Structure formats: C-alpha cells, structure tokens
Amino acid sequence: MLLLTGGSGFVGQALTNNQTIQSLGITVVGRRPNISLSSNIRQITIGDFLPSTEWSRYLSGIDTVIHLAARVHVISETASDPLAEFRKTNTASTLNLASQAAASGVSRFIFLSSIKVIGEFSQPGKPFTSDEINIPTDPYGLSKFEAEQGLRKLANQTGMEVVIIRPPLIYGPGVKANFLEMMRWLDKGVPLPLGAINNKRSLVALENLVDLIITCIDHPAAANQTFLAGDGEDLSTTELLSRISKALGKPARLIPVPERLLKIGLNAVGKKDIAQRLCGSLQVDISKAKDLLGWEPPVTVDEGLKKTVEWFKKRTEC
C-alpha cells in the first residue's frame, strides 16, 4: 500500500492516474478534496501540512510513502520571512511525516526534492551528478536541502529506506508557469529574440519522472540513494523553442540576437534573473539511475513535447 502526499499537484495527478500506482493500492492525502480523483482511490483531507500534523492513523498498513507536497516558489512573495515559511512546510513538516512513517513501520520513503538543492546553473559541459553536495542560498532550495539531510539521518537511525529524487524543469500535460507562457508566445507567432542561445539545459518529461518514481517504489538498489531525473538529452533555449514550435505546427519566429547583447539588454531593464535562466546552462547526469536501476526514460524529448502540445491545444480549444 502506498500513501501519496500532493496528489492534486502537477506530478501528483499524473501519479494517481497511473495504472501501476492504482494497482498497488494508494491513499492520497491532500489539503482539500480533489474531485478529479478516481472513485477507487482512497482520499483523505487533512488541511495544511504542519510540523505538528498527526499522521499515525493514516500510516497503518502503508509500505511506501511518496512525499510530493511542498511549498514551491511564490512569484509574488508576501511572507515577511520566506525562508521560515519554506522551512516549515518543506523541512519540518517533511521530517515530521517521515519520523511518524518510520515509527509506523513504513519500509520506504520517497522524497521529491529539486535540482535547486545542488544549484541553478552548471558549468557548460559539466553536468551535475547525483552525489554532488552544495549548500544552496535560495530559500526553496535550502529548505529542500535541509529536508534531505534530515531524511538521511532518520534513515540511519531507524532503518527506514529513503529515496531522494531531484528533477530539473518538469514539463508535460498540465504544465504551468514559464513553460506554458512559452507555448502561448510560440502559438501566437510572437517574435522572440532568442534565436542564438548556445546554452545546454536538462529537462524531464512528466511521464519520465513518474516512471522513475514508480521504479523506485520497490527496486532494491534504490534504497537510501539519491537520483537525478532527466530525459537524457540536453537542449539550448533556442533548440527547445524550435522543437516546441515544430510540435505546435507553427514557424519558430526566433530572432538571432547575440547572447551578449541579450544579456546586456535584460540586465539594463532589471531582468538579470531572466537573462540567467534563458542563457545559463543547467545539465544533470542521469547515469546513476540508468546504471543502478536499469532505468531508461520511456519517452524522448520530442515525444514529451508532442504530448504537452496536444494537451495545450485541447486546453486552448475549450
């Protein structure tokens, strides 16, 4: 039996709709009822995840916990102390759940972390590896890092197996934020000054991430390991936009503005962070998951983009 937190989120919905997950028996715990869940899935509503939440009655008979629930990046942050808020949900509440899971006899705890635990940019041609250690300064990344550290300590103390998965940018049906906005621009044929960017970025299709999580549920070699998720093919920003346009069946109107000039222009208008995200590299090495688990991403980048675009088209038609 599985217990899943964050079942109403982007990754959580894909997991709960997966037939393999449903066949294993799943209890979904959320802050609010999710009317989209299948009727054969047990659903529990507990309100906010807190460091004081009592979990023991929900953990009876559970073999594996898949913990997705988290406080993610807030575009318009209103908290007076963002780090404290991230720590409350992503660190303290995670460790509270994990401690009670261990006490209840749960054998494995799968934690969806983030590549931000290692960093937001890698050196060109030097992808991050699973076992790299780097203390992040970003509040979200730091809260995830501290959760990872606490989980490893708990695994050593209790014997409960912990599996940590760090994904980079996740895309797929239901994607939001910047990726969705990019598809809107390309679908409308908006000219973009992004035709000459030579960075390299790793992505992970939602279907590939779900497959990796499922592989880690009972694979003996996954115990107490950390894995990076990815599609196995890195793209520049220009290549990504071109491939999305191709999937949309639209011409890519990408103006080849030199990268140096693009950075200067964005920095001049106070968009340094955007310049870094568009032009910087972020590569991950997924060889550990391949070698240790015998895992291969089941879909290619182009297949993942095609499914994402199909969802996008249906969404815009509604």
Q: What is the pLDDT of residue 215?
A: 97
User: pLDDT tens, 161-208?
Assistant: 999 999 999 999 999 989 999 999 999 999 999 999 999 999 999 999
In a domain, 7, yes or no: yes
DSSP 247-311: HHT----B----HHHHHHHHHHTT-HHHHHHHH--B-B--HHHHHHH----SS-HHHHHHHHHHH
In a domain, 310, yes or no: no
The number of folded domains in the chain is: 1
User: pLDDT tens, 209-223?
Assistant: 999 999 999 999 999
∠ CA 52-66-51, nearest 5°, is: 10
Nearest Cα to 275, choosing from 262, 289, 288? 262
In a domain, 195, yes or no: no
| Residue 3 CB partners (closer than 8 Å, separation 6+) | 26, 27, 29, 58, 59, 62, 64, 65, 66, 106
The pLDDT > 70 percentage for the chain reads 96
In a domain, 78, yes or no: yes
| DSSP class of 81 | S
In a domain, 209, yes or no: no
Q: Which two tokens stand for residue 253?
A: 């109107």
Per-residue pLDDT tens, the chain, 318 aa: give them: 999 999 888 999 899 988 888 888 899 988 777 767 776 788 888 878 889 999 999 999 999 999 999 988 665 566 778 899 999 999 999 999 999 999 999 999 999 999 999 998 998 889 999 988 888 888 999 999 999 999 999 999 999 999 999 999 999 999 998 999 999 999 999 999 999 999 999 999 999 999 999 999 999 999 999 999 999 999 999 999 999 999 999 999 999 999 999 999 999 988 888 888 899 999 999 999 999 999 999 999 999 999 999 999 998 876
Residue 244 parent element (H or E): helix 237-248
| Residue 81 CB partners (closer than 8 Å, separation 6+) | none
Nearest Cα to 64, choosing from 130, 15, 31? 15
C-alpha 188/C-alpha 253 separation (Å) is 10
C-alpha 150/C-alpha 142 separation (Å) is 12
In a domain, 288, yes or no: no
Q: What is the pLDDT of residue 39?
A: 67
In the β-sheet with 108-112, what is the strand arrangement from edge to edge? 42-45, 26-30, 2-5, 64-67, 108-112, 161-166, 225-228
Half-sphere exposure of residue 243, counting CA atoms within 13 Å on the CB side? 18
CATH number, position 135: 3.40.50.720
Nearest Cα to 72, choosing from 7, 135, 9? 9
Structural domain boundaries, residue 141: 2-166
Q: Which residues are catalytic?
A: 140
In a domain, 180, yes or no: no
In a domain, 25, yes or no: yes
